Amino acid sequence: MKQCYIHIYVFDLLQPSVHNDTLGSRQDSGVTMTGRWRLSLALLLLCVQSSLPSVLTAASSYQFTAYRMQQYHLGQQKHGCRGAIVVAEARSADEPVLTRRCVVMKVSDLTTEKYLEAQRQNAAAIFILLPQNTSNLPFDTVQVKTLTTLECAPQPTSEHLCYCITRHSSGFTKLILSIRCFVLWFQGVLPGAGLDLPTIIITAHYDSYGLAPWLAHGADSNGSGVTILLELARLFQRLYSNASTRPQYNLMFSLTGGGKYNFLGTKKWIEENLDHAESSLLHDNVAFVLCLDTLANSDALYMHVSRTPRPDSPMHSFIQHLEEVVSSRFPWVGLEMVHKKINLVESTVAWEHERYSLRRIPGFTLSHLEDPKSELRGSILDTMSQVDFRKLKRNGVIIAESLARFMFNLSDKVRSYQHTDIHADMHTTIELLMSILTSVPRATQLLDKEPRQMLLVNSLEHEFRRYLLQVHRHTFRQDKRDPEMTFFDQMNQPVMMYRVKPAAFDLFLGGCIAAYLGIVYYAIQNFGYLYTKLKSVLKTKHA
């Protein structure tokens, strides 16, 4: 359109009707000033035509679907930058000058030093290229902990995934806030044989977390906890369905949302059962709460507690059975208790059991991670390929047998059912459950908006109703005036990439055009003198 516009504009200027009045009546060898202007415009037109093709043929554009990084407000804390638009020239991370440039690097080349250097030079953005299949990317090749505070927009193409990590700028476009935030939780019960029985609560959070919500599949964190919880519900349903093998314990299962956001779903579930419900199993005798979190790797298991259990408490007895199972059947597995007091000054909690401990309900979290701030709990590289199914099954067997021994008061010599049966049952279903859970990203922002995520939530409810009784699904809607957790919309946006000549070429081309126009202008102003000189030279040559 631009080239067409120039052609039309110049063509109109060359029409005789535009120049009704000549700029001068002086004629020099039959050449008028009007003719000089026409000649100069014709030369200008040639210049434009010769310069435009080189620019237009070099320019090409590509459009990608970009995914934004995690951006939310949790209470008074703001996470992520609301900047969404980046217009910058791409440069390699090895370039000496990165100011107002978009730095492009591979994920294997990403280091803290390179990011800090780009930040020091006020780089406009950073593009991190990932392979199309992130499952084949070793987890230790990228410093995920460094990236968790950045804003990124992954862009999938046919060859790679591209991350755009943008810096905060007041000039960036602000996106519309999304107040529509739901936190869901499910609960189901296997009632024991008797009345007023103590209750064992097994819980896990089912949402995932990562740099970008659309890439947060969360296999180990916390697809492993959900998988084991569903397997425990299926296995113990067999015992509870027979009156002769039904123990004197109520077994409650709970799946909560918002686990990656200060366990907001667990908090609301406890408040609903303790503060708003007249009758609830939480009001009665709770033996202990077992929280399952990140159990798909490692030969170590950590029992995270807020306070050391009393020797005569049910939780202490269950931990003893847990230690007996590990020492007798899996001696190579390290089992250790980690004691961490709850800091009431902090606005966040480290583990899910701390939500129960704040309400004086005994509980602990079982995980293969010792540090609650480990990057393994929130990574886009936490995919199904990172899961060790042998260790996941082993951990499920340890928990199942320990629960059976505790509820039936069995020793190591007497077993409630054969170990081979547990191994065989878990072998047939555990991989299928994990594949279903990791088939779609389970970020909290997507669970109530996207059809595939909503289907996954409905499937979890279906599994609960298949094996458990008194199944309830709760939906929590936040207060619009004072929300506890606020997300931002437009997590996927189109991004345009333009392939153009470098800025130095534009500067060189502009200089050439300016010089050319200067020569043309000088020739027009001194056309008579130049024509006389040229004519005298020709006469001398012919003489």
pLDDT at 35: 40
Residue 122's pLDDT band (boundaries 50, 70, 90)? Answer: confident
The verdict on residue 14 lying in a domain is no
**Taking the CB of residue 231, how many other CB atoms lie within 10 A of it?**
22
When comparing pLDDT for 64 and 295, which is higher?
A: 295
The verdict on residue 458 lying in a domain is yes
Distance CA 165, CA 174 (A): 16
Same domain, 223 and 337: yes
The verdict on residue 382 lying in a domain is yes
Same domain, 196 and 159: no
Which residues lie below 8 Å from residue 250, measured CB to CB, with a gap of 6+? Answer: 189, 190, 191, 192, 197, 198, 199, 200, 281
Q: Across residues 290-298, what is the average pLDDT?
A: 94
| pLDDT exceeds cutoff 80 at 160 | no
**Taking the CB of residue 157, how many other CB atoms lie within 10 A of it?**
13
Which residues lie below 8 Å from residue 489, measured CB to CB, with a gap of 6+? Answer: 175, 176, 177, 178
Same domain, 507 and 359: no
E strands present in 97-244: 101-106, 125-131, 155-156, 160-166, 177-178, 182-190, 199-205
| pLDDT exceeds cutoff 60 at 118 | yes
pLDDT at 19: 36
Residues, the chain, total?
Answer: 543
pTM of the model: 0.77
12-26, 70-84, 131-145, 316-330: least confident range: 12-26
Cα distances (Å, whole numbers) of residue 382 to 112, 155, 190, 273, 378: 21, 18, 32, 33, 8
Same domain, 148 and 203: no
Kindly report the backbone phi and psi dihedral angles of residue 226, in degrees, each rounded to the nearest multiple of 5, phi listed first. Answer: -65, -40
Distance CA 212, CA 458 (A): 23
Query: Based on the structure, what is the number of domains in the chain?
Result: 3
When comparing pLDDT for 284 and 245, which is higher?
A: 245
When comparing pLDDT for 363 and 44, which is higher?
A: 363
Of 178, 175, 176, 215, nearest to 83 (Cα)? Answer: 175
**pLDDT tens digits, one per residue of 368-378:** 999 998 888 88
Whether the bond between 458 and the residue before it is cis, its omega within 30 degrees of 0, is: no
Same domain, 160 and 203: no
The verdict on residue 85 lying in a domain is yes
Same domain, 51 and 146: no
Of 149, 141, 147, 97, nearest to 127 (Cα)? Answer: 147
Residue 139, token pair as written in the block: 């987890």
Domain that holds residue 98: 64-176
CATH of the domain at 380: 3.40.630
Same domain, 196 and 88: no
pLDDT at 139: 60
Last residue of a domain, one of 176, 205, 237: 176
Distance CA 422, CA 431 (A): 14
| pLDDT exceeds cutoff 50 at 140 | yes
pLDDT at 512: 92
Of 340, 344, 342, nearest to 367 (Cα)? Answer: 340
Same domain, 194 and 141: no
Q: Across residues 247-265, what is the average pLDDT?
A: 91
The verdict on residue 13 lying in a domain is no
The verdict on residue 185 lying in a domain is no
- DSSP state for residue 449 in the 8-state scheme: T
Residue type, 103: V
Residue 398's pLDDT band (boundaries 50, 70, 90)? Answer: very high
| pLDDT exceeds cutoff 70 at 237 | yes
Kindly report the backbone phi and psi dihedral angles of residue 310, in degrees, each rounded to the nearest multiple of 5, phi listed first. Answer: -70, 150
